[in-house]
Amino acid sequence: MIQIRFALWTAAFLSFGETTTQAAGESLFAQQSQSTTPSTGSTQSAIAQSVTPSIETNIRQIQPAELTIFETKVRPAVIWVTAFDPKGNLLRTESGFFVSADGRIVSTAHAIEGAVNAVAKTADGGIYNVSGVLAASKPLDLAVLKAEVKPQKLLKFLELHKNADLSLGANVAVVGSALAGSEGNARETKITGQSPERLEIAGATPASFVGAPLVNENGEVTGIVTSAGEKTIARPVDALDPILFRVTSDTQARWPQLAEARPTPQATARPRLIYAPAPSFPPGASLPGQSGTGRFRLTFDAAGNVTNIQIVTSTGNPYFDQAAIKTLRQWKSAPSQGWEATVPVTFRTR
pLDDT digits (tens, 9 = 90+) for 98-137: 999 999 999 999 999 999 999 999 988 889 999 999 999 9
Rounded Cα gap, residues 255 and 273, in angstroms: 42
Rounded Cα gap, residues 331 and 325, in angstroms: 10
- List the beta strands (DSSP E) in 196-272: 198-201, 213-215, 221-227, 232-236
Maximum separation of any 2 CA atoms in the chain, in Å: 150
Instruction: Please check whether the two domains, 68-261 and 273-348, share a CATH topology.
Output: no
Beta-carbon contacts of 145 under 8 Å, excluding residues fewer than 6 positions away, are: 81, 96, 104, 105, 106, 107, 112, 118, 120, 130, 132, 133, 134, 253
Flag residues of the chain having pLDDT under 70: 1-67, 152-153, 258-269, 284-289, 350
Please choose, from the candidates 215, 232, 228, the residue with its C-alpha nearest in 3D space to the C-alpha of residue 72.
Answer: 215
Domain 68-261, CATH: 2.40.10.120
CB atoms closer than 10 angstroms to residue 240: 22
End-to-end CA distance of the chain: 148
CA angle 221, 210, 244 (to 5 degrees): 50
CB atoms closer than 10 angstroms to residue 304: 19
Please choose, from the candidates 61, 40, 51, 41, the residue with its C-alpha nearest in 3D space to the C-alpha of residue 17.
Answer: 51
Rounded Cα gap, residues 64 and 76, in angstroms: 13
Q: Is the peptide bond before 151 cis (omega within 30 degrees of 0)?
A: yes
- Give the DSSP H/E element, type plus range, for residue 107: strand 104-107
Please choose, from the candidates 145, 163, 265, the residue with its C-alpha nearest in 3D space to the C-alpha of residue 220.
Answer: 163
Q: How does DSSP classify residue 74?
A: I
- Give the DSSP H/E element, type plus range, for residue 347: strand 339-348
Parallel/antiparallel/unpaired status of strands 60-61 and 291-300: unpaired
Residues in the chain: 350
- What's the half-sphere exposure (Cβ side, CA atoms, 13 Å) at 262? 9
Indicate the residue type of 104: R
Domain 273-348, CATH: 3.30.2420.10
Beta-carbon contacts of 308 under 8 Å, excluding residues fewer than 6 positions away, are: 298, 299
Rounded Cα gap, residues 193 and 203, in angstroms: 12
Does residue 52 contact residue 15 with C-beta atoms inside 8 Å?
no
Could you tell me the CA-to-CA distances from 216 to 157, 162, 173, 223, 339 in Å, in that order? 15, 12, 6, 9, 66
> For 304-317, how does the pLDDT look when each residue is reduced to its tens digit (9 = 90+)?
999 999 999 998 88
Indicate the residue type of 164: A
Rounded Cα gap, residues 257 and 263, in angstroms: 12
Does residue 19 contact residue 48 with C-beta atoms inside 8 Å?
yes
> For 281-310, how does the pLDDT look when each residue is reduced to its tens digit (9 = 90+)?
887 665 666 788 999 999 999 889 999 999
Does residue 296 contact residue 311 with C-beta atoms inside 8 Å?
yes
Does residue 146 contact residue 132 with C-beta atoms inside 8 Å?
yes
Domain parsing of the chain, residue ranges: 68-261, 273-348
Does residue 68 contact residue 173 with C-beta atoms inside 8 Å?
no
- pLDDT for 39 equals 42
